[in-house]
């Protein structure tokens, strides 16, 4: 077992010196046993929160009351927080969201029994060792997420645990133990009643794990319970020679594809875009006379649906806007030539000011993952997209302007060189200059643009 960080041991030791019992618990213990130290440290203790606060303050430790109704105070040692919570059990969950009461108890085992999964229900103390009444260490070895106690009851108490199970399975690369899996599917419908932002945070965590493809393939019912807009994707035959899979499997492949894209670690906006890029396909479907499927306007409609979904889940507005821009433009035809690449960057810049260049790489990554996830015939386009990423890099390095404001000439130059009065005509001239620069008909040096203005007089 790695050593418990000394800042957290100051909290444990101060409480024990005052005659109480304290353990490190939850995520730190789990991750440390997996050889991944670095998780924030939570402490569970026998003292009531008022006493915890008093003892820690007397030891010269800063304390904040961060959740005293649940027995939680946060100690801050060397600038690092240690959440410190009194042993507790939870009463009934009559609304299936919040425990009706929390009851403080004196036995750490009772506290461990209220926790969600065996791998999260272990306590550790450097002198007393590991306390693991539910086989968490065994389950870490087996690589399984298993509910503590009777799974059905545990998910009925708090439906968010359904998504937490999937998130931990994704994060740790584990599978879900069969009885837990059965209960999870039976209770997924209860996610509907959960606070939207808690659902949003768990889904964001599943995407951040980089294993959304696994979640879509193995836990589609849970994903569709959390985001009902995903449901029509399963089994939806696209009737297209370019698509070898239904929309759900295609989406899983795109999610896996963006994880190994060329831009390094994908942004969360790109991950959300991968998940939702084809969300409107089933709604925009029509068949032509030869029986081939078409999806007129699905990227634009998909961006609209994504805005609705991500807004409902209370995800950050800037991330939502970026995901929408990527979804909206994911079918934009691009070629690895400068003009095409600049046009793509300027469209992204218009949608998300200040982010056009960064988003261009994300869009190339999304388009490549999308092409590779289609039928084998589309692989050639994926190769072109590799060249596209290099082209975007070159354009960014060359400092090509993407908006009128970034042009090295402005309204004053137009008025002076063209002898115009101030007014809307000035803006039109600048728009035309930008269009010529983006198309590669003009360079973007100030002298060249001034000369162009003089010539057009
Ligand atoms: P991470 O914060 O890295 O996602 P964690 O294990 O610290 O992982 P938290 O959500 O911070 O998870 O919760 C801390 C601990 O509290 C968990 O390890 C678990 O023991 C317990 N816990 C948290 N949420 C629940 C819940 N909804 N039901 C039961 N126990 C929970
Ligand atoms: Mg935590």
Q: Give the closest residue to 115 by CA, choosing from 30, 182, 192, 193.
A: 30
- Ligand closest to Cα of 162 equals 1
Q: How far is the CA of 360 from the centre of ligand 1 (A)?
A: 37
User: Does 115 contact ligand 1 (Cβ within 6 A)?
Assistant: yes
Q: How far is the CA of 40 from the centre of ligand 2 (A)?
A: 7
Q: What topology does CATH give the domain 6-136? A: Beta Polymerase; domain 2 (3.30.460)
pLDDT digits (tens, 9 = 90+) for 289-335: 888 888 888 999 999 999 999 999 999 999 999 999 999 999 998 88
Q: What is the pTM of this model?
A: 0.93
Which residue is it, tokens 């550790």? Answer: 124
Mapping DSSP onto H, E and C, the string for 355-420 reads CHHHHHHHHHHHHHHHHHCCCHHHHHHHHHHHHHHHHHHHHHHHCCCCCHHHCCCCHHHHHHHHCC
Residue 457 has pLDDT above 70, yes or no: no
Q: What is the mean pLDDT of residues 113-136?
A: 98
Instruction: Report the CATH number of the 405-455 domain.
Output: 1.10.246
The domain locations on the chain are 6-136, 143-226, 227-398, 405-455
Whole-angstrom CA distances from 215 to 219, 222, 236, 250, 391 are 5, 8, 18, 13, 34
User: Does 116 contact ligand 1 (Cβ within 6 A)?
Assistant: yes
**Has domain 143-226 been given CATH number 1.10.110.30?**
yes
User: Does 161 contact ligand 1 (Cβ within 6 A)?
Assistant: yes
The atom number, within ligand 1, closest to the CA of 115 reads 30
Q: How far is the CA of 161 from the centre of ligand 1 (A)?
A: 10
User: Does 277 contact ligand 1 (Cβ within 6 A)?
Assistant: no
Cα distance from N-terminal residue to C-terminal residue, the chain: 78
User: Does 158 contact ligand 1 (Cβ within 6 A)?
Assistant: yes
The atom number, within ligand 1, closest to the CA of 160 reads 27
ipTM, two decimals: 0.98
Percent of the chain with pLDDT over 70: 97
- Residue 387 confidence (pLDDT): 84
Q: Which is it for strands 80-86 and 42-45: parallel, antiparallel or unpaired?
A: parallel
CB of 276 closer than 8 Å to CB of 306: yes
Q: How far is the CA of 30 from the centre of ligand 1 (A)?
A: 11
User: Does 271 contact ligand 1 (Cβ within 6 A)?
Assistant: no
Residues with CB under 5 Å of ion ligand 2 are 27
pLDDT tier, 197 (very low <50, low <70, confident <90, very high otherwise): very high
Q: How far is the CA of 20 from the centre of ligand 2 (A)?
A: 23
The atom number, within ligand 1, closest to the CA of 205 reads 4
* Cβ-based neighbours of 155, under 8 Å, separated by 6 or more: 147, 161, 162, 183, 184, 186, 187, 190
Q: What topology does CATH give the domain 227-398? A: Hypothetical protein af1432 (1.10.3210)
């Amino acid at each position: 077992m790695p050593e418990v960080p000394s800042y957290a041991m100051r909290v444990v030791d101060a409480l024990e010196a005052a005659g109480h019992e304290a353990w490190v618990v939850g995520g730190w213990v789990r991750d440390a046993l997996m050889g991944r130290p670095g998780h924030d440290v939570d402490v569970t203790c026998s003292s009531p929160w008022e006493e915890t606060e008093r003892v820690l303050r007397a030891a010269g430790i800063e304390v904040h009351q961060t959740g005293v109704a649940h027995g939680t105070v946060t100690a801050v040692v060397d600038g690092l927080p240690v959440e410190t919570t009194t042993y507790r059990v939870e009463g009934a969950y009559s609304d299936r969201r919040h425990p009706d009461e929390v009851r403080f108890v004196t036995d750490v085992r009772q506290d461990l029994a209220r926790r969600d999964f065996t791998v999260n229900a272990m306590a550790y103390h450097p002198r007393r060792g590991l306390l693991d009444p539910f086989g968490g260490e065994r389950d870490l070895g087996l690589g399984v997420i298993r509910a503590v106690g009777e799974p059905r009851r545990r998910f009925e108490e708090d439906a968010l645990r359904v998504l937490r199970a999937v998130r931990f399975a994704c994060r740790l690369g584990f599978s879900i133990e069969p009885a837990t899996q059965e209960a999870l599917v039976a209770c997924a419908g209860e996610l509907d009643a959960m606070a939207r932002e808690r659902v949003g945070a768990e889904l964001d965590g599943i995407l951040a794990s980089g294993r959304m493809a696994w979640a879509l393939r193995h836990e589609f019912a849970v994903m569709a319970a959390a985001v009902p807009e995903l449901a029509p994707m399963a089994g939806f035959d696209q009737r297209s020679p370019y698509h070898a899979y239904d929309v759900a499997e295609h989406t899983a492949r795109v999610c896996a594809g963006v994880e190994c894209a060329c831009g390094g670690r994908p942004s969360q906006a790109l991950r959300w875009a991968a998940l939702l890029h084809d969300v409107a396909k089933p709604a925009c479907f029509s068949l032509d006379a030869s029986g081939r499927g078409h999806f007129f306007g699905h990227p634009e409609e998909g961006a609209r649906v994504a805005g609705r979904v991500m807004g409902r889940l209370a995800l950050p507005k800037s991330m939502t806007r970026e995901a929408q821009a990527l979804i909206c433009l994911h079918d934009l035809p691009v070629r690895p030539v400068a003009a095409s690449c600049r046009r793509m960057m300027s469209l992204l810049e218009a949608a998300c000011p200040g982010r056009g260049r960064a988003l261009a790489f994300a869009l190339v990554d999304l388009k490549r993952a999308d092409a590779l996830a289609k039928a084998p015939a589309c692989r050639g386009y994926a190769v072109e997209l590799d060249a596209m990423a290099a082209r975007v890099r070159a354009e960014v390095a060359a400092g090509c302007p993407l908006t009128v404001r970034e042009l090295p000439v402005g309204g004053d130059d137009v008025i002076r060189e063209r002898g115009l009065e101030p007014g809307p005509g000035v803006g039109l001239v600048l728009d035309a200059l930008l269009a010529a620069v983006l198309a590669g008909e003009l360079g973007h040096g100030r002298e060249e643009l001034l000369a162009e203005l003089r010539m057009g007089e």
